[in-house]
Homo-oligomer: A and B are copies of this chain.
Amino acid sequence: MKSLRMTFLLLSLSLTSLTSHADSDILKTRWADVKVDTVATGLNHPWGLAFLDDGQMLVSERAGNLRLIAADGTVGEPIGGLPEIKVRGQGGLFDIVLSPNFSQDKLVYFAYAEPESTGSDITSTAVARARLENNKLHDVTVIFSQQPKVMGGRHYGGRLAFSADGEFLFIGLGDHGHRQDDVQSLANHTGKLVRIHPDGTVPKSNPFVNQAGALPEIWSYGHRNIQGMAIQPETGQLWAVEHGPQGGDEVNIPQAGLNYGWPIITHGEQYGGGEVGIGFKKDGMEQPIWHWTPSIAVSGAAFYQGNQFVQWQGNLLATGLRGQQLARLEVNGSHIIHQETLNLKRRIREVKVAPDGSVYLLTDEPKGAILRLSAVK
């Protein structure tokens, strides 16, 4: 009898274990078995995510809403008080980041497709700042507006990142899809990486502040469509990922005043075939430190730090839309020395590392999800 009871006990433990994993998939990876859990669902093309100190998440939906999500995944009502957002094509509400001093000032910063006037299809990417209180935005102030506004709904960029010291806000922009010819000119914000102070003023140390005819907000240029940005913890350097044309998705470490080559050089090619520009390389234009060819349609980027995946310390994580993946890139200083691909079989828009070291992903779907990656213990 004693032996029989032991058997039942073991069986029961085994079933408990199975049940608790019922909603999880396991990815076998180099350094860890990764459990993939669904935290929340029903989000309309979620685009950006910020962790609050209290365990809540602030999530933007491209469809134009901002929502608080509880730690247990409960999706809050839309936050009120957003400005008019043009939701069309790739346009809508983009990234959301917290003020470095959020616990005191309650300020949030978000990027979005801003129409020229009410209802207009002439748009560009703007960044606004607002105070978040009682599920509503207060004192909404537009601190940056990409010049010029143009027809068309593609290649908005829209990613935001604060510098490590909180003094600067980087804004990743795009070429609008059909305005490639503007990208090499410093007289506009098309295809630029912009750096401003959090109040919208222009830093005196920006590279083109004293150059006649150049817009002073520009940090670097020659970008096609910056989709992900992250600060490398050990260096404080900004890293940015951008879409190439059917190949040539890039990782760059954008330096002040430098030219990243679009549309003159690229490792991609024209849709339908044929070379873009003059080829791969040109003096005075920077090479990416890594590229994906064919494209994965690279989207978000984050550096891993945390206790959940101890062997991923300092790795760059980058997500792919068409590539349906999380790319884990091992980094040595400013070089990528190895790639591992985690195949998630869903379009992934963004990646963030949670305070507990787990990794959160947003799926790019009309009923999109928040996924959580954790280590199988």
Contacts of A289 in B (CB 8 A): 332, 335, 337
A5 on the B face (CB < 8 A): no
Tell whether A254 is near chain B: CB-to-CB under 8 Å: no
For residue A291, CB closer than 8 A to chain B, the reply is: yes
- A280: chain B residues at CB < 8 Å are 311
A245 → chain B closest CB, angstroms: 14
Query: Assembly of this chain: how many copies?
Result: 2
Contact of A287 with B338 at beta-carbon distance under 8 Å, contacts A247-B30, A293-B30, A294-B30 already known: no
A176 contacts B by Cβ under 8 Å: no
Determine whether the beta carbon of A338 is less than 8 Å from that of B30.
no
A80 within 8 A of B: no
A290 at the interface (CB under 8 A from B): yes
Given contacts A30-B294, A247-B30, contact A335 B335 (CB under 8 A): yes
Write out the residue numbers on chain B whose beta carbons fall within 8 Å of the beta carbon of A223: none
Contact with A337, one of B247, B291, B311, B332 (Cβ below 8 angstroms): B291
Q: What is the minimal beta-carbon distance from A273 to any residue of chain B, in angstroms?
A: 12
In whole angstroms, what is the CA distance A251 to B286 when docked?
23
In the complex, what residues of B have CB within 8 A of residue A372's CB?
none
Minimum distance in angstroms from A332 CB to a CB of chain B: 4
**Is A267 interfacial (CB-CB < 8 Å)?**
yes
